Amino acid sequence: MVESSSPLSPEVLSRLSGLKVQVQRVVEGVLAGLHRSARHGVSIEFAEHKEYAPGDDPRHLDWRVLGRLDRYYIKKYEDETNLQASLALDMSGSMGYGSGPFTKAEYAALLTASLAALVLRQGDASGLILLGGSRPTHLPPVARPEHLGDIVQAIEAARAQGPTDLQQAAKIFVERSRRRGMLVLLSDLFDPAPDVLASYKMVAARGHEVVVFHVLDPDELDFPFEDPSQFESMEDERRVLAFPREVKQAYLKELQVFMDQTRRSLAEAGMCYELVRTDEPPHQPLIRHLTRRKAVRRWS
């Protein structure tokens, strides 16, 4: 948890008027954070490499990256580096939970719009897929800077409600992508469908890059509850009376297993996983992801 006096803390950002102003602060924080690290440089590069996945041509493996990082990456060529990024934002009912200044939906929305701003800033195309919510929306990737206004407007009009259907984003992406691109999912991954990530593995198997930001509230990660409580589902009518002190350890163990399995499953398919807490400054998970990409590019 960051000190509330930080200019990029969730507490401070939540008091700023409007998503576009918040995005501007987060982007400034990302650029400043990258600039302070001379090792990584200041440019934002999203599409230089992708992790190797079954089906990729092994002739395109970057052996210098393998020697330095002991991981397999595919080098993208000049005609592939004009990125088209589709950002899939989960606005289902469970994303409406929040124990701090931001709900999961609001925090993920800020990350989504900030990513769109960074992609557009480097001259690439950014699009939006809103999952669930009051106004399901798909904005195709566009490279014009003013497209950020359309993305922000669509996000601000959405409300977290309804059931989770994460497979919808993968379906839309595959149906409408005419060339290799990037699909970024921002979600708590609370989807009752069995093996919901299978559709995203299919996207990765077709040569697209897939990144998952797993957005969770501190309450979900730490389970600080003590008194007997009734827990209510935010997507249906289910209610459960529980005694937190008795179930805490079992809950935390199951959650850790779920996160470990998700991370491993994504990595095996060549996808990237980033766990995000809604009490951390929003620029930090973006810097973590970008610096990992830069570490790969550095050794190419």
Give the pLDDT confidence of 24-81 residue by residue, as tens digits.
999 999 999 887 764 444 345 554 566 667 766 676 676 666 666 666 666 654 444 4
Q: Which of 214, 133, 134, 206 is nearest to 170 (CA)?
A: 206
- Strand-pairing partners, residue 183, are 86, 210
Tell me the average pLDDT across 142-151: 96
Which of these, 79, 105, 106, 81, lies nearest to 16 by C-alpha position? 106
Angle, to 10 degrees, between the axis of helix 104-121 and the axis of helix 283-298? 40
Q: What is the predicted pLDDT for the residue at 193?
A: 81
Q: How far apart are CA 193 and CA 183, in angstroms?
A: 20
CA atoms within 13 A on the CB side of 36: 6
pTM above threshold 0.85: no
In the chain the domains, ranked by start, together with CATH numbers, are 10-298 (3.40.50.410)
Is the pLDDT confidence value at 242 over 50?
yes
